[in-house]
Each structure stands twice: as C-alpha cells, then as structure tokens.
Amino acid sequence: MTKRALVTGITGQDGSYLADFLLGKGYEVHGTVRRSSVEKFERIQHIRDRVTLHQMDLLDQLSIITVLEEVEPWEVYNLAAQSFVPTSWNQPLLTGEFTALGVTRMLEGIRTVNPDIRFYQASSSEMFGMVRQTPQNEETPFYPRSPYGVAKVYGHFITVNYRESYNLFAVSGILFNHESPRRGLEFVTRKVSDGVARIKLGMAEVLRLGNLDACRDWGYAGDYVDAMWRMLQEEEAEDFVIGTGVMHSVRDLCRIAFEHVGLEWEAYVMEDPRFFRPAEVEELCADASKAEERLGWAPRVSFEDLVRMMVDADIERLSP
Ligand code: NAP
Ligand code: G4F
C-alpha cells in the first residue's frame, strides 16, 4: 500500500530534500504552501508534477484541519517555521506565532482529525543556546539565546506533552545546522558560498560577515532528512539529536570556501557589526550516538565536501 506523507514547509530547504527522499521511497507526497503574490517553488521545481500542493498557513487552524482531512496522511513532517534567527529579534511575536504556537495548531489538528498520524517536529540545536555541556545530547538542558530558540523550546515541549497527554506518535528531531546548495542566501554558509562565487567571477569585491569566531556543527541537509524519516519508522516515539559531532568556526568556513577557488579569505572578508547578534550562540556540537545506535543513522558528507559542493553550485548558477 502506498504511504502518504504531508510535509509542511515543502518549499524550504529541508522540505524539498525530504520530498525528494520520500518520493524515492515510493511515498505519495503532499506539501503545504502559503499564498503569495509570486510563486516561490524554485526548490521543488524538479518534482512539481510529482507532489500535490495544498494552501495552508500555520496561523490558520482551519486550513490545517482542512488539509489533514483532505490528504489523510500517515505521516506529517512539520518543517514550516520562521527559521532565520536574526529575524526573530525583529519579529519576535510573529516568530512565536509560527514557530511555537504553529506546532500546537498542527498537533491539535492531528488530535482532532486522526490521532494515529505519526508526527515529526523540526526542533533545533538553537535550543541549547548557551551550552551547558559539550557535546550536546538528548539529556542536555536547554538555554535558548534568541526568540527563535525560545519558540523552538516551546515547540519541542508541546510535542513531548502531546505525546504524553494523548499518546500521539509525536517525535522531536533536535537537528544541528544543515546546509546545501538550496540553503537560503541569508544563512552564513550560503552567504559565504555565494560571496566566494561572486568574488571569483568578478561580480563583488568584499564579503561582509558578523562573528567569525562562532562555531557550529554543520552537516548536509540531504543526510538529515533521512534521519527525520527513520524517527517515524521506529516502534516507540522518541526524540533524537542529529549532527556530525564535528565543529568548525565561521573563519574555517571562509578559509575552506576561498581556498577552493584559489583565493585567500583574509583579503576579502570584512567583519561588519551590522551582522552581530544581540545575544550569540558561541558554539554547538552534537553527540548523535543515540541516533547512530538506534536509527542506524550517520552523516555521509564531510564539512569540507559540503562547502566545496555549495561553492561549485553557486559558481555554476552565477556563471554567464
Ligand atoms: P526554510 O528553508 O526557512 O523553510 C521554511 C519553510 O516554512 C518554507 O517552506 C516557508 O514557506 C514555510 N513557512 C514559514 N512560515 C510559514 C507559515 N506561517 N505557514 C506555513 N508555512 C510557513 O527552513 P529549513 O532550513 O528548511 O528548516 C526546516 C525546519 O527545520 C524549520 O522549522 C527550521 O526552523 C528547522 N531547523 C532547521 C535547521 C537547519 O539547519 N536548516 C536546523 C534545525 C532546525 P515560504 O517558502 O512561503 O517562505
Ligand atoms: O547560518 P546562521 O544564520 O545559522 P544559525 O543562527 O545557527 O541558525 C540555523 O541553524 C539552527 C540550528 O542550530 C536552525 F535551527 C536555524 O533555523 C538556522 O537554520 O548563523 C550561524 C553562525 C551564527 O553564530 C552567526 O552569528 O554564523 C554567524 N555569522 C557570522 N556572520 C553569521 C554571519 N550568520 C549570518 N546569517 N550572516 C552572517 O553574516
């Protein structure tokens, strides 16, 4: 029997990779999109005729219930959110509505329409914020450092709470940063790969960045959607940390990206106070041993290969 999945945020980076992955597994894939005056389907253009799209907004409970009733999914992946950390200081209330309360609206929809649906919540390593221990695992306490991180902690615990209160199969995947050529241009890895490509092609002279000392555990998005799926195939609903266990600084990112095109990063990168944050997450590093043991999951793409893949893709995209 064909399995049916509903992916909220299918137009985003992860939504597009997850749709590719589920189609490869033989799923019937449905995705939700927000109404916009222009279509933003670039990331799913290649599979546009293989997925079914439905209008839904995390702010609108009725649209969530209607889509759940229409699609009758077995699995729901809740990837939709306001996902850019700096925007969460500019729009803290909207971030809370989408990224926090939106999760409750999804869970209420499932509880109302069909409590047997399996639910994945896109939680984040941003919840660890000012880290209490390194590396971070499923037991590490949270200390979020942005309205986004705070909203994700709410989304995480409301998922746990609905699992415990209503016996829903609801899991929270605590994913560390994951990137790809489909990453939004405002995130630092893509900003760097795009900047390197522009400088190499003579379209720009400098790259202005914020805190070069910040460290992250960066993996490849294509690897991480596999982990999401594996969590929903388990017998018991449980939460998992997903990451590579390897940490790099933004400075390392710049060095590797510029080196790949034969340039020295110090000659082009400028620190710009406009890109510093009111409160910073200095470092994040995953201990994903539970996922490795229980889900048989491991990352396949190294940080160096990921950076090179992104730079190559941007050079190809921008080349005349
Ligand atoms: P993304 O590229 O920013 O995609 C976000 C998606 O959410 C887009 O499809 C967007 O639609 C949709 N969306 C935003 N607000 C919505 C609303 N009110 N109603 C319905 N849809 C809405 O994010 P991503 O990198 O794919 O991340 C996916 C999820 O994982 C997010 O929840 C993010 O917070 C979380 N996460 C990401 C990472 C990471 O490193 N990528 C790590 C941990 C957790 P539009 O196209 O219309 O804007
Ligand atoms: O790429 P970033 O904007 O990602 P951030 O803030 O870690 O958030 C991403 O990962 C989270 C998982 O931990 C997700 F939940 C979230 O949705 C998102 O996908 O910034 C990474 C680091 C930060 O420390 C930032 O201060 O890079 C530093 N940075 C330095 N210069 C910069 C810049 N970040 C951005 N976006 N732009 C800069 O110019």
Q: What are 241-286's pLDDT values in tens digits?
A: 999 999 999 999 999 999 999 999 999 999 999 999 999 999 999 9
| C-alpha 288, offset from chain centre | 16
How many angstroms separate the Cα of 281 from the Cα of each of 78, 98, 112?
24, 22, 38
The pick from 187, 224, 244 for probing ligand 2's pocket by mutation, whose C-beta has the most ligand atoms within 8 angstroms, reads 187
Angle at which helices 13-24 and 221-233 cross, to 10°: 60
Which residue's CA is minimally distant from atom 16 of ligand 2? 83
Which residue's CA is minimally distant from atom 17 of ligand 2? 83
Q: Which of 27, 77, 148, 162 is catalytic?
A: 148
How many angstroms separate the Cα of 169 from the Cα of each of 196, 219, 224, 306?
44, 27, 20, 33
Q: Which two tokens stand for residue 289?
A: 């041993």
Which residue's CA is minimally distant from atom 1 of ligand 1? 12
Query: At residue 60, does pLDDT exceed 90?
Result: yes
Give me the pLDDT at residue 1, please: 80
Query: At residue 82, does pLDDT exceed 90?
Result: yes
Bridge partners (DSSP) listed for residue 5: 29, 75
* 135: preceding bond cis by omega (within 30 degrees): yes
Give me the pLDDT at residue 2, please: 86
Q: Which two tokens stand for residue 96?
A: 């809370």
User: pLDDT per residue over 106-128, tens digit each?
Assistant: 999 999 999 999 999 999 999 99
Percent of residues, the chain, with pLDDT higher than 90: 99
Residue 253 Cβ < 6 Å to ligand 2: no
- pTM for the full model? 0.98
Cβ 199 vs Cβ 269: under 8 Å: no
Give me the pLDDT at residue 66, please: 98
Ligand 2 midpoint to CA 187 (Å): 6
pLDDT bracket for residue 31 (50, 70, 90): very high
Q: Is 148 a catalytic residue?
A: yes
CATH code: domain 184-217+246-285+301-318 is 3.90.25.10
Architecture of domain 4-178+219-242: 3-Layer(aba) Sandwich (3.40)
Which atom belonging to ligand 1 lies closest to the Cα atom of 125? Answer: 43
User: pLDDT per residue over 294-303, tens digit each?
Assistant: 999 999 999 9
Buried b (16+ CB within 10 A) or exposed e, 187-208: ebbbbbbbbbbbbbeeeeeebe
Q: Which two tokens stand for residue 35?
A: 């109404």
Residue 277 Cβ < 6 Å to ligand 2: yes
Q: Is 238 a catalytic residue?
A: no
Ligand 2 midpoint to CA 105 (Å): 27
- CATH 3.90.25.10 in the chain is located at 184-217+246-285+301-318
The pick from 13, 37, 40, 83 for probing ligand 1's pocket by mutation, whose C-beta has the most ligand atoms within 8 angstroms, reads 83
Give me the pLDDT at residue 154, please: 99
- CATH 3.40.50.720 in the chain is located at 4-178+219-242
The closest alpha carbon to 33, from 17, 46, 49, 52, belongs to 52
Residue 191 Cβ < 6 Å to ligand 2: yes
pLDDT bracket for residue 16 (50, 70, 90): very high
Q: Average pLDDT, stretch 148-166?
A: 99
CA 28, 29, 35, 41 torsion-angle sign: negative
Residue 148 Cβ < 6 Å to ligand 1: no
Q: Is 180 a catalytic residue?
A: no
Burial class of 24 by CB neighbour count within 10 A (0 to 12, 13 to 18, 19+)? exposed
